[in-house]
Chains A and B, each alone.
Chain A
Amino acid sequence: MSEQHPAAPGAAAEPRPEEPGPPAARHPGRVRRKRRPGAGRRRAWLLTAPAVVVMLAVSGYPVGYGVWLSLQRYDLRFPAQRGFVGLDNYAAVLSAPVFWNDLAATAVITVIAVGLELVLGLGIALILRRRLAGRRALNAALLLPYGIITVVAAFAWQYLATPSLSFLTDRAWLGERWSSFAVIIATEVWKATPLVALLLLAGLAAVPEELMETARLDGASGWQRLGGVLLPAIRPVLLVVLLYRTLDTVRVFDTVFIQTNGANGTETVSLLAYNQLAGRLNLGLGSAVSMLLFLLAAAIAVGFVWVFRADLRELSRGPG
């Protein structure tokens, strides 16, 4: 699931106070009915409650049950042996070398892919910002990777990297570890960079033009303007995009599942969890792996928000 919503990390954003309506005085002679605060609150809850209740039911319950499963010996091939084992599954996972290998593979993919996405995304955002001829074509072309489902992107790149099919290469890229990583990372970067570029472009658009003009008059070069004016100005947006992409990539599954299915040391933590759950039907161990993945994502999110709390607060105030 790599189409998680980019807006989500904007969570740091506090709800903005409502815009005051036009003063009633603008319509003399007409009296604006004043809402009783109690009735308004009840109405607000009636509107919100169904969504919140359904969300808790469809997410909260399975999550809680998943935690419970992770504390049990529960292998569907030996259902009679089911029983509560405390943290044994976690101990088993954390002492298994395969978990650490998979964590390393996940880290390699995440760090390189997200780094490339940010650098290339920024470059594309700067191109789009120039409003050159061909901008419309570029905009439309950028939506191609975004609009394509992950499985199809994975197949397209796999077939580009398969020597018996590809017009580009005679090398079996998916035959060994690091070149497999290269294909997986290329697929992830291809799929995600357009959205990163659009988000950064939206951030750049909020940078006041006078700021750039002043820097230009002061004799700052293009690179100096980028490093001295643009990057600091879009720092909060960069951070949100960085967090969103990191959280989305640590759970990378689709691309790896299609292209290597974990061969040659490319198995990721999500794939390990899947193999335990769906392949070996070991719900206890598999749930423990899943929960560790969740804890990793949560730790990244909390740590990130804490380290950059000042920047994120600035974002919640909004540009200008």
Chain B
Amino acid sequence: MRRAGWYAGTVAVLVVAVLPVLWIVSLSLKSPATITDKRLWPVEPTLENYRSIFGSALFTRALLNSVGIGLITTVLAVGLATPAAYALARLRFRGKALVLPLTLAVAVFPPMALVGSLFDLWRALGLYDTWPGLVIPYLSFALPLAMWTLTAFFRGLPWEMEEAAQADGATPWQAFRRVLVPLARPGVLTAAILVFFFAWNDVVFAISLTSSDRSRTVPAALAFFPGDEQFAQPVGSIAAAAVVVTVPVLVATLVFQRRLVAGLTAGVVRP
């Protein structure tokens, strides 16, 4: 009887977690004629909506912007954060106790509070509606995120191995390459995925600091899809675009499930 209760809970959670996703997929497969048929499943599934968005420069350009800006942000943030996190986890130095609280203070800052000044600065500097104009504010939040994740990860590594390798005659460089890099790789990968998610997900900066498809990312393009009035929204196209931006993230999430969960919970609960 009690067991049945737990299973009922499991099923309820499964349904609620999956239903909205299923719904958006279903809408994306409906034709304009059947989109208002109020059915869960599409009667005559069609790929029309997907053809239409991939035929529109508005969407393909936004997709390119999202991927490009996301990758640049990820490389810069992880590249800068990895050495810093190594030092924070491994070395003693003056000022160390200040660095992590500083990253935290930045992370608590509401993104909206940066929008006004960046809007003004970017217009003056010519960065408004450009890729760097988005990469820079993303770094403000991606850097602390990467530093936290990586520091927590590095603290949990078996550092004795590095010292043992050096004691066994390896040069510091060899110890670094042969022992450290393989150990650190999963942590760096996790941090990279989290940072990419952040950039891929952002709306606040993407709608405030861009004005055209030159640099507008997919979330911003979706938010401003042509047809401003609510009942005039091209629901099918929005649903198809939503599915397209969701798929890569979901695949990455499911493939790296374990590591992501470990990376996300690191720092709140020590390994």
Interface string of B230-271 (1 = CB under 8 A from A): 110001001100100110011011100100110011111110
Interface string of B135-148 (1 = CB under 8 A from A): 01101110111011
Contacts of B83 in A (CB 8 A): 47-48, 50-51
Closest to A16 in B: B155
Scan residues 1-44 of chain A and give those whose CB is less than 8 A from a CB of chain B: 1-11, 13-16, 18-19, 21-22, 24, 26-27, 30, 32-33, 40-41, 43-44
Cβ–Cβ contact B117 & A63, under 8 A: yes
Contacts of A153 in B (CB 8 A): 20
Cβ–Cβ contact B108 & A21, under 8 A: no
Interface residue? A166 (CB, 8 A): yes
Closest to B207 in A: A278
Contacts of B100 in A (CB 8 A): 11, 15
Partner of A5, one of B2, B13, B119, B194: B194
Interface residue? B202 (CB, 8 A): yes
Interface residue? B185 (CB, 8 A): no
Cβ–Cβ contact A319 & B219, under 8 A: no
CA distance A6 to B201 in the complex (A): 16
Task: Report the minimum CB–CB distance from A268 to chain B (whole Å).
Answer: 10
Contacts of B155 in A (CB 8 A): 16
| Interface SS, B side | helix
Closest to B2 in A: A222
Interface residue? A91 (CB, 8 A): no
Contacts of B99 in A (CB 8 A): 48, 52
CA distance A44 to B96 in the complex (A): 9
Interface residue? A142 (CB, 8 A): yes
Interface residue? B115 (CB, 8 A): yes
Cβ–Cβ contact B149 & A142, under 8 A: no
Return the 6 tightest CB-CB contacts between A and B, nearest first. A7-B267, A51-B84, A44-B93, A147-B253, A290-B113, A156-B20
Q: A143-B254, A198-B264 are in contact. List 19 more A-B contacts (CB 8 A).
A: A7-B265, A9-B268, A14-B97, A19-B160, A48-B99, A52-B84, A55-B106, A66-B116, A124-B9, A127-B13, A141-B14, A142-B13, A146-B253, A150-B201, A165-B38, A273-B115, A286-B116, A287-B113, A291-B113
